[in-house]
Amino acid sequence: MHDTLLLFGATGDLAQRYLFPSLLHLLRDRLLPERFRIVAVGRTDYDDTGFRDWLRGRIDDGDARNREALEDVLGRIRYHPLDLRDADAIAAALARYADRPSVSYLSTPPDLFAPACRGLKAAGLLEDPSRLVLEKPIGHDLASAREINATLKASLDESRIFRIDHYLGKAPVQNLLALRFGNTLLEAVWQHRWIESVDIVVAETAGVDGREGYYAGYGALRDMVQNHMLQLLALIAMEPPASLDADSVRDEKRKVLRALRPMTAADAGRDSVRGRYGDGVVDGEAVKGFRHEREVETFVALRAWIDNWRWAGVPFRLMTGKRMPARATEVVVSFRPVSHWLFERPSRDRAAPNRLRMRLQPQETIELGLMGSLAAPEWGATELQPMSLDLTMSPTPKRRIAYERLMIDALKGDQTLFVRDDEVEAAWRWIDSVSDAWAEAGTPIEDYPAGSWGPASAAPFLPNVISGNGKRR
Render the burial of 339-370: b for 16+ CB within 10 Å, e for the rest: eeeeeeeeeeeebeebbbbbbbeeebbbbbbe
CB atoms within 10 A of CB 459: 15
Q: Which helix (H) or strand (E) holds 278?
A: strand 272-278
Q: Which of 2, 80, 166, 228 is catalytic?
A: 228
- Known active-site residue 192: no
Q: Is 449 helix (H, G, I), strand (E, B) or coil?
A: strand
The Cα 199–Cα 463 span in angstroms is 9
Q: Which has the closest alpha carbon to 386: 369, 364, 398?
A: 369
The Cα 72–Cα 57 span in angstroms is 15
Long-range contact pairs involving 293-296 (C-beta distance under 8 Å, separation at least 24): 294/216, 294/217, 295/445, 296/215, 296/216, 296/217, 296/218, 296/219, 296/445
Render the burial of 212-222: b for 16+ CB within 10 Å, e for the rest: eeebeebbbbb
Do the beta carbons of residue 185 and residue 366 sit within 8 Å?
no
Tell me which residues are annotated as active site: 228
